[in-house]
A and B are shown apart, each in its own frame.
Chain A
Amino acid sequence: MDLLDYTRQSWPPFYYENKNLQGMLLGGVTAAKRSYFTEINKDLIPSFTVFSQQMRALLQNLEVKRLLDQKVLERTAKVEMQKQEIQEKNEELEMQKEELQSTLENLQRTQEQLVESEKMAAIGGLVAGVAHEMNTPVGIGITAVSNLLEDVQKMAGLYEKDEISRKDFKGFLESTNDTAKLIEKNLERAASLIQSFKQVSTDQVTEQQRVFAFKEYLNDILISLKPKLSEKNINFKVDCDEELTMNSYPGVYAQIFTNLLLNSLQHGFYKKDTGIIGIKADLNKESLKIQYTDDGAGISKKDLPHIFEPFYTSDQHRGTGLGLNIIYNLVKQKLHGTITCESEPGKGVLFAIDVPVL
């Protein structure tokens, strides 16, 4: 082997810090140059010693550097992993957020649809109620017209036979006059009902802003709801200036009072056949203050903080839990006002609505 042609020169081996052998450095010359080293062998020792000491120190430095680099790499990898985990968590959260957003949008859409359905159901209820209410004047009118026709035919027969007496004719005139007055009165009643219903229902659907007489409109609402309200013996106490006019959204007020009244009927007077409902309205320069009260069953302390939440109801069989939430949204969002409720079980309710003047 060529290596054996060299004069081998062994240098101090080098070790790890734990004293384990790390390696060795060899140097050599050819046989021809052997004498050179034989001569200066002792002279080289100090330089060899310095070189080997330097090499050990440098190797230790390299090892420390390598360990540090390794630690940096490990730490970097760990940080990268943590970053990745955070990234994944963020993505997961983002996805959950999107899902929640989508669910929320769905919920809002459903809620809007339900509110719309409630509104339509209320109008449907109004139609049924008004139809029932119309039945009386229209029935009376039809009966009166039938009687009138009979009287006319009877008079026509007498006229054909030329047998009309003065007394008959006078009686016919009086009877016709009374019947016509009865028909007129009932048609006016029917027209009034239709007018009220038309106004209230149109306002509820269109929700347009206009000037309206508050008390008159309140009466229209009460008339529209009369068939429903007449199921119980309710005494209404309306305390409001006849001249009070508002430039606002009458349909919104119609929905608010309709829901408050139905709420009183369904919950407040559920176990009562008689009761008092009070509506008080005061307008000053800044706001319209409405107080709605009933002397019904009241609301428990547990339920009171939640009554304006959507779908919150004390009895699933008697409501959707949307009525008061609709009122709350209309007052807050449409009228930019506030609504609060005070109540104790057995002591009725007091809804205080404060609406800024537009």
Chain B
Amino acid sequence: MNNKAPKYAELIIRCENLQDQVLKFLRIQQDLSIAKRNLDKDLARLVSVQNYNQGAIHSDSIEAFAEITVESVLTTFELECSMFFLYHAEEKSLDLLFQLGLNETVKENFKLSLDWIMNHGGLNDLNVFIEEI
């Protein structure tokens, strides 16, 4: 049986190894914590999306649907304003149907020209953030 005490140098190496492991575990713990927070947020958003789903499915008009959608966008994604547009083919414009969070002056008859949209990034399914103004 080997009852000899370890040498100092050996202990230093062991200690450093342990410290490395502690740091590694701390990073992992932090990553896990961030992941958990993100997952919780995602879960909260998905619950909110589910609530939206249940509310919107009973809409009996496009106006009611727009209102529920805009409200859900604000609560689900913590945004400050949201606007629901319907496309007017003859005028080639997107007409505002419902909005929350904007100044009163844009509430009625607000339109976005399709040309203007195309000049500012266009309608792209893949880009969530197109532009910052």
Contacts and interface: CB of A to CB of B under 8 A. Distances in A.
14 contacts: A3-B103, A23-B97, A24-B112, A25-B82, A29-B80, A37-B129, A41-B129, A43-B42, A47-B76, A50-B49, A51-B72, A54-B52, A58-B65, A66-B62
B106 A45 contact: no
Contact of B57 (A25, A43, A44, A61): A61
Given A47-B45, A55-B69, A58-B56, A12 B125 contact: yes
A48 interface: yes
A28 interface: yes
A2 B102 CA distance: 8
A30 B80 CA distance: 7
Interface in A214-243: none
Nearest to B101: A28
Interface string B69-99: 1101110111111111111010000100100
Interface in A36-70: 36-37, 41, 43-48, 50-51, 54-55, 58-59, 61-62, 65-66
Interface string A1-43: 1111011111111000000111111111110011011000101
A11 B132 contact: no
Given A9-B129, A20-B89, A24-B87, A51 B105 contact: no
B42 A26 contact: no
A54 B49 contact: yes
Given A8-B130, A47-B42, A51-B49, A13 B80 contact: no
Nearest to B64: A62
B54 to A, nearest CB: 10
A27 B129 contact: no
Given A2-B102, A20-B89, A23-B87, 13 more contacts: A2-B105, A10-B123, A10-B124, A10-B129, A27-B74, A27-B79, A27-B82, A47-B46, A51-B72, A54-B52, A58-B57, A65-B60, A66-B62
Interface of B: 38, 41-42, 45-46, 49, 52-53, 56-57, 59-60, 62, 65, 69-70, 72-74, 76-87, 89, 94, 97, 101-103, 105-106, 112, 117, 120-121, 123-125, 127-133
A6 B133 contact: yes
A203 to B, nearest CB: 84
Given A8-B132, A50-B46, A62-B62, A24 B79 contact: no
A24 B77 contact: no
What DSSP secondary structure best describes chain A's contact surface?
helix
B41 to A, nearest CB: 8
Contacts of A43: 38, 41-42
Contacts of B84: 23, 25
Interface bin, chain A: 35 or more
Contact of A2 (B72, B86, B103, B125): B103
A11 B128 contact: yes
A46 B59 CA distance: 25
Given A10-B129, A47-B42, A24 B65 contact: no
A289 to B, nearest CB: 83
A7 B77 CA distance: 14
Contacts of A54: 49, 52-53, 56
Given A6-B133, A26-B82, A27-B82, A41 B128 contact: yes
A58 to B, nearest CB: 5
Contact of A62 (B53, B59, B72): B59
A341 B57 CA distance: 82
B69 A62 contact: no
A78 B121 CA distance: 48
Contact of A47 (B49, B59, B79): B49
Given A7-B133, A34-B132, A41-B128, A47 B87 contact: no
Contacts of B87: 20-24
Contacts of B49: 47, 50-51, 54
Contacts of A50: 46, 49
Contacts of A6: 80-81, 133
Contacts of A24: 85, 87, 94, 112, 117, 123
Nearest to B130: A10
B52 A27 contact: no
A48 B82 CA distance: 14
A260 B81 CA distance: 106
A25 B42 contact: no
Contact of B121 (A10, A23, A27, A65): A10
Nearest to B56: A58
